[in-house]
Structure 1
Amino acid sequence: MTALTIAAVDLGAESGRLIAARYDGNRIDLDVVRRFANTPITVDEIPRWDIEGLWGQIASGLVTLGGTDVIASVGVDSWGVDLGLFRDGELLELPVTYRDPRRRRGFERAMSAVGAERIFAATGSQLHEINGVYGLVEDQQSRPQLIAAAEQLLMIPDIFHQRLSGVFASEYSVASTSGMYDVGAGRWADGLMTELGLPTSLLPEIIAPGTTLGRIRLADAAPGLAQTLVIAPAAHDTASAVVAMPGLGANTLFISSGTWSLAGVLLDHPVVSDAVRERNLTNEGGYAGTVRLLRDIVGLWILQECRRDWEKQGIRLSYEELGTMIESEAPLRAWIDVDSGEFLHAGGMPDRIRAACERQGMPVPETPAQVARVVVDSLALAYKVVVDDLEAVTGQRISGVSVAGGGTANRALQRATASATGVPVTTWSREATALGNAAVQLQALGEITSPEDFASVIAASSTPETFEPGGHSDWRAAVEALADLRLERSGH
């Protein structure tokens, strides 16, 4: 068959890509057509996503691609939790980023108003201050005029699907990251919204991954866009990445490794229990009605921030160079608790890492290689904690780890993860999110017709590599020490 071209737009917290996914009937080949920065801007002292700048890159990139290729369809995926408010079909303001410190105040207000147990029971979602609902709670208190003016909300990828198609709707997987969606009931958590003092009229229709929204509104801008359909993929980037990892289930930990690490298991039903809430796990929507039971972990963001700090000092290190340097350092000389919250915000990251190590009575890392080794080992320890927690709440033993996304290039991290978890780690496509995005579009177009064909296409489009564990007893002792540190911090 003649190769079919699909446009997959993959937006990350640092950068975005427009990718041409070409399908020949057996495999999907990915070609990055355009890469662009995603840099938040500050308006009224609030950090915001530059939606207009991102849209300009997406639209012009599609027009360029449509000048050379006939594009069958286009779909957008992005990070979760953040949202925009609309009136008369237009954004009232640029969406606020999840790193806005005001969101913490909204989180505390919600905890005080209705309590953690009620919020978790209503949503099945991890109690995390970055969830979009807490931004709305804070706005209702500090900027009530904004909430009063708003008619509808959309999550980040939904905003771009609306611009591409004109349709206001929220895709299931990304809606489930908002803190306003009841994964168990399969609908918005209207009752919780009311209890939090938020208008339920803001909530749009929910659509499933693979829903065709209509023809692109840029149809006249390039010959190859004339018949292009807008199809919502699994619009949360992790959900799309999970699509591109074959053979997942309750016995395999998946890790979508990038700025954030999202680590969990793929199930056919949510698990909403005290044990899940106490371990701060979350139920998020997946493709074909699945549920991702997972934890959000501050991922390679920590290393990204270290690189930014080093560059200011004139030390420029590529990720490849850092990876080689990490492998030359002995593991587990020191580690940090990446989930403690102190590593969530930008600025001064190497110094914060050193301060945490010193506070814990560990050797203080001095060189970039030593600091990066601490980050890698600490992420691996966090993954092992997730493994232990998931085994406890599901009753299923995890016998393997599958990793996809940009973090797969960090071989030191994969080796550390195998050693920390004590099970083999298999890496899949570095571009798993775009691959999963395109595969869902192809199935919606009828080009992939069965689950078996779907798995075959994904496998043919990937080059897996496996890392075996080693030195597990040392890692076990470190995990136990991390557990003790968390207990001490919590006051128990």
Structure 2
Amino acid sequence: MPDFERLIHFKIGRHHSMTMEKQAKVYLAVDLGATSGRVIAGVWSADKRELKLETVNRFSSPITRVDGRLHWDILCIYSSIKRGLKLAASTYGNRIESVGVDSWAVDYALIDANGAMLGNPFHYRDSRTEGMMDAVFNKVPEETIYRETGIQFLFINTIYQLYSEIVGNVGSLQAARRILFIPDLISFWLSGSLHQERTVASTSQLLNPMTGKWSVTLLERLDLLPGLFKEVVEPGTIVGSLKAEVQKETRLSDISVIAVAGHDTASAFVALPGNRKGFAVMSSGTWSLMGLELPEPQLGTNALNDGFSNEIGYGNTVRFLKNICGMWLIEECRRHLTEAGRNYDYEAIVDLANEAPSMVSMIDPDAPDFASPEHMPDAISAFCQRTGQKVPADDASLVRCVFDSLAMKYRYVFRKLEAYSDQSLEGLYVLGGGARNHLLNQMTADALGVPVVTGPSEATAVGNIAVQMISKGEIDSLESARDLVEESFLSKVFDPCDTGPYTDNEARFAKLLDC
């Protein structure tokens, strides 16, 4: 059996205490995921060209249901962020240069004329978007929306969330004077700067990737208040410094607040290890986002029909990608298994999947059945039964079904991507938390038939920090940032070993996509 965990580069700084060298500068990344958040310190020793990460604190991203509606507990999240900043101040003192915020996409807060938030932000899986896609299409054809925005049609998109507020005649929308996406909201609370950062704005399905401006066509035809949308700022913009009240509470100085690549996937793409060509990229976490970096958006009929997005990245790059329901499936299965008294950590989940036979049952991870089910294991069983497959009989076969299905969906999307690349795709970078899942990485290499190269598991934080370093003049470009990532973090290569089962089951899986 070939050695599929081939080390390609290793230059991690030795283990060290929190007491840093005098010359080391510190950049703080507030990295908010849909499951959890963290404040991470990037400790940069210029003389050694070493970037080291130290986790200051981790916290959950709590969700609260009120009157049947699903909201983010954003005030709890903000309190956790401030605790992290205070801990960072006590650890690193005046070595801290700046802070930047990245988060998940599409969700937002409405801000009134006094700068107050009008209610907790809705969670993107709240049911208020049911029927909203069809309602919007009755106003504007799908082809027009895609030509204007280049974004994949997902019920969670900001455009459908906002339109639900118009249809429902929600008073907060009438009182609003600005819409702030989650990273913009946290930056506003930290600095007092009201801004909308380009990378996260591009996910809304309201921004035109060709002009870089809000789509006047969509705003007018959907009766969205144009005053909510201001000129977007570029990632890397220093938007201000920490407000006096935040300085007092956290004991930080007036450090810079930088609008980094606010969409977590955009930050993750900054952290590609090196500048290798001919590779697709996947940011793997709650969502799996697989795509390419392209110089121009692809806004044609094929891209529309294939369900790809054109999201704006750092340095005017375009992330041509597809959203795939990722570890959300495992997270939800694990949650319900825990409630039933079977508590598995993620390592145990991987061990379970490894023990079970492969390709017994499969699902389409992106089927509507799995968008917001009350009970994920039951939803998976129902899908298998409905499609004439064997229903998973135990926990091991359940999680194996999910892993097999993800690998097959990755294969499907990778094959689609090849048509849009100007060269053959020779491999796949995997970034984010999924980079730690050795079993799924190997399954993905087997499914795709190309090497899978892992990048930093904390890629979003690394990209966040790298943009801050560029803004503060420590490094000079995106290319230099990627070279630094390759020098500073451990990568592994998973070579394909056994592609046969994936080839043999390709037609069978394709039929499930139409169910």
Q: Give the shorter-chain TM-score range.
A: over 0.9
Corresponding residue for residue 16 of structure 1: 37
Deviation (angstroms), 1:291: 0.6
Deviation (angstroms), 1:249: 7.2
Check 1:84–1:324 CA distance in 2 against 1; reply closer, same or farther (3 A cut). same
Q: Is the 2:31–2:103 contact (alpha carbons within 8 Å) kept by the matching residues of 1?
A: yes
Q: Is the 2:180–2:196 contact (alpha carbons within 8 Å) kept by the matching residues of 1?
A: yes
Tell me, what secondary structure is at the counterpart of 1:230?
strand
Tell me, what secondary structure is at the counterpart of 1:64?
helix
Q: Is the 1:12–1:78 contact (alpha carbons within 8 Å) kept by the matching residues of 2?
A: yes
Q: Is the 1:46–1:100 contact (alpha carbons within 8 Å) kept by the matching residues of 2?
A: yes
**Aligned pair count?**
488
Tell me, what secondary structure is at the counterpart of 1:181?
coil
Deviation (angstroms), 1:143: 2.5
4+ runs of 1 displaced by more than 6 Å? none
Q: Is the 1:83–1:153 contact (alpha carbons within 8 Å) kept by the matching residues of 2?
A: yes
Name the TM-score, length of structure 1 as normaliser: 0.96
Tell me, what secondary structure is at the counterpart of 2:131?
helix
Please give the per-residue CA displacement for 1:384-436, whole angstroms capped at 9, x wherever unaligned: 11112112244542210100111122111111111111111011111111011
Please give the per-residue CA displacement for 1:425-458, whole angstroms capped at 9, x wherever unaligned: 0111111110111011011100112455323311
Are residues 1:324 and 2:351 paired? Answer: yes
Are residues 1:312 and 2:335 paired? Answer: no
Corresponding residue for residue 86 of structure 1: 111
Select which of 401, 410, 415 maps to 1:374: 401
CA distance in 1, matches of 2:195, 2:52: 29
Check 1:397–1:259 CA distance in 2 against 1; reply closer, same or farther (3 A cut). same
Larger CA deviation: 396-405 vs 228-237: 396-405
* AA in 1 matched with 2:163: V
* AA in 2 matched with 1:123: T
Corresponding residue for residue 159 of structure 1: 185
CA distance in 2, matches of 1:450, 1:199: 37
Larger CA deviation: 197-206 vs 436-445: 197-206
CA RMSD of aligned residues (A): 1.7
Corresponding residue for residue 271 of structure 1: 298
Tell me, what secondary structure is at the counterpart of 2:134?
helix
Select which of 393, 404, 417 maps to 2:444: 417
Select which of 99, 107, 121 maps to 1:74: 99
Please give the per-residue CA displacement for 1:241-276, whole angstroms capped at 9, x wherever unaligned: 111113467731211111111111111211111000
Check 1:454–1:250 CA distance in 2 against 1; reply closer, same or farther (3 A cut). closer
CA distance in 2, matches of 1:450, 1:242: 14
Higher relative contact order (CA 8 A, sep 6+): 2
Deviation (angstroms), 1:299: 0.5
CA distance in 2, matches of 1:92, 1:232: 23
Gapped regions of structure 1 (runs ≥ 5):
none
Deviation (angstroms), 1:206: 0.6
Q: Is the 1:168–1:204 contact (alpha carbons within 8 Å) kept by the matching residues of 2?
A: no
CA distance in 1, matches of 2:156, 2:192: 28
Deviation (angstroms), 1:284: 0.4
Q: Is the 2:270–2:482 contact (alpha carbons within 8 Å) kept by the matching residues of 1?
A: no
Check 1:315–1:353 CA distance in 2 against 1; reply closer, same or farther (3 A cut). same
Q: Is the 2:297–2:320 contact (alpha carbons within 8 Å) kept by the matching residues of 1?
A: yes
Q: Is the 2:62–2:77 contact (alpha carbons within 8 Å) kept by the matching residues of 1?
A: no
Map of 1:404-483 to 2, 5 A cutoff? Answer: 404-483=431-510
Tell me, what secondary structure is at the counterpart of 1:197?
coil
Corresponding residue for residue 375 of structure 2: 348
Gapped regions of structure 2 (runs ≥ 5):
1-21
Are residues 1:176 and 2:195 paired? Answer: no
Deviation (angstroms), 1:288: 0.8
Larger CA deviation: 223-232 vs 28-37: 223-232
Deviation (angstroms), 1:346: 4.2
Are residues 1:103 and 2:129 paired? Answer: yes
Corresponding residue for residue 3 of structure 1: 24
Q: Is the 1:8–1:74 contact (alpha carbons within 8 Å) kept by the matching residues of 2?
A: yes
* AA in 2 matched with 1:28: L
Q: Is the 1:28–1:435 contact (alpha carbons within 8 Å) kept by the matching residues of 2?
A: no
Q: Is the 2:243–2:254 contact (alpha carbons within 8 Å) kept by the matching residues of 1?
A: no
Tell me, what secondary structure is at the counterpart of 2:505?
helix
CA distance in 1, matches of 2:430, 2:354: 19
Deviation (angstroms), 1:459: 1.0
CA distance in 2, matches of 1:122, 1:196: 13
Q: Is the 2:83–2:250 contact (alpha carbons within 8 Å) kept by the matching residues of 1?
A: no
Deviation (angstroms), 1:222: 6.7
Are residues 1:231 and 2:258 paired? Answer: yes
Tell me, what secondary structure is at the counterpart of 1:177?
helix
Larger CA deviation: 349-358 vs 283-292: 349-358
Corresponding residue for residue 209 of structure 1: 235
Deviation (angstroms), 1:64: 2.5
Select which of 176, 195, 198 maps to 2:221: 195
Deviation (angstroms), 1:30: 1.0
Deviation (angstroms), 1:232: 1.3
Check 1:395–1:443 CA distance in 2 against 1; reply closer, same or farther (3 A cut). closer
